[in-house]
Amino acid sequence: MENVLRWVATCLLVIITLAFVHLGLSVMSGQANDLFFAFLNTTWPLGAPDTSTIAETDTREQLAFSIINYGITALGTAWVACFAYLMVMQNQHRQASQQLSLERLQLTSDLDEKILEIFDSEAVFEIDDQGSQRRTKFLSACDRNTVWRDGTDREWNYRDGERTIAFVESSTSVSSDAEIGLTALHRYLAWIRHIVRAIETHVLLDKDVLLFWRWVVIGCYRNRYPFLCAIFFKDDLKDFVRLTEKIILTSEKLDAGQDFAVYLKTVGDPQLISELSEDAQKIVARSETSANLNAAKSK
């Protein structure tokens, strides 16, 4: 609606301006009288000459002058109103853009802090042979040397008031009996949803997703996506798939952050890749060729 009103105001401003330019040129060229009489004869043709011709001419000229004066006044008022409206709208749009930029800056900073806090939390429980536990950071279970299980029986354990579950298939960073707290996984998916909703409401731009691809890719390989699907079901991972797809398409469009697609091609979970759109799958499929070409050029 705002765009329609702006378009209407612009059109009126242009039309009124052209009308005033035409009148001004007529005055400057000395054709104002001809223009006035042409308007007069077109709107009120003079009847057959008789004794009342002079009175009738004076009357219709006075009436025409009055109409023209009122008309010019109305057009001038409309021009000023349209110009003022466009200036106000432009100022509001500029202020809104500045406010949105500040909100984007604040939101991206908050998202960086939140994801660092999530991965810095001691969400991994390592259990030794005596049954004692030692807590380590969530990030220690998300390196490339840790392969997660591709599913789970959803049999929870409870440690220090935290619901946990075994997740390690093989790892050089944590023990094979380590368990992960579900709170950290919930917070990670909530962080993903926060980004997706911010994009949907245009608080974040499409290019902003490239700021977070290194944190998103952590959940895209070493069986982490199938594990998350087994924990939360696929419907809860739709936003994760959408954000993954958005990063792939945006990196292709902007020619930036293309390492994300290379990761998916080389070590990405096939289940996750199969749920991407056809366009995103094509980008992932040809990303390995591009990576090989770039590596060959660098040698």
Tokens 């009103």, residue located: 5
Asked whether residue 289 carries a pLDDT value surpassing 80, the answer given is: no
Q: What is the mean pLDDT of residues 246-269?
A: 88
Q: Phi and psi for 15 in degrees, rounded to 5?
A: -65, -45
What is the reported pLDDT for 246? 94
pLDDT band (50, 70, 90) for residue 112: very high
Cβ contact 84:77 at 8 Å: no
| DSSP helix/strand/coil, 157 | strand
Q: What are the start-end ranges of the E strands in the chain?
A: 124-127, 133-136, 146-148, 157-159, 162-166, 168-171, 179-181
What is the reported pLDDT for 299? 40
Residue-wise pLDDT for 187-235, tens only, equals 999 999 999 999 998 889 989 999 999 999 999 999 999 999 999 888 8
Q: Check the CA dihedral 238-280-138-153 and report its sign.
A: positive
Q: From CA 148, how far away is CA 169, in angstroms rounded?
A: 5
What is the reported pLDDT for 296? 42
Q: What is the mean pLDDT of residues 108-119?
A: 94
Q: Where are the domains of the chain?
A: 2-102, 113-118+184-298, 123-182
Question: When comparing pLDDT for 199 and 5, which is higher?
Answer: 199
One-letter amino acid of 49: P
Cβ contact 138:119 at 8 Å: yes
Question: When comparing pLDDT for 94 and 216, which is higher?
Answer: 216
Residue-wise pLDDT for 47-72, tens only, equals 544 445 555 556 656 666 666 677 77
Percent of the chain with pLDDT over 90: 40
Q: From CA 187, how far away is CA 24, in angstroms rounded?
A: 69
Q: From CA 239, how far away is CA 216, in angstroms rounded?
A: 11
pTM: 0.70
Question: When comparing pLDDT for 106 and 12, which is higher?
Answer: 106
Asked whether residue 152 carries a pLDDT value surpassing 60, the answer given is: yes
CB atoms within 10 A of CB 27: 12
Tokens 């612009």, residue located: 10
Report the DSSP beta bridge partners of residue 180.
Answer: 124, 165
Q: What is the mean pLDDT of residues 144-149?
A: 91
Q: From CA 213, how far away is CA 120, in angstroms rounded?
A: 18
Q: From CA 205, how far away is CA 184, in angstroms rounded?
A: 27
What is the reported pLDDT for 78? 84
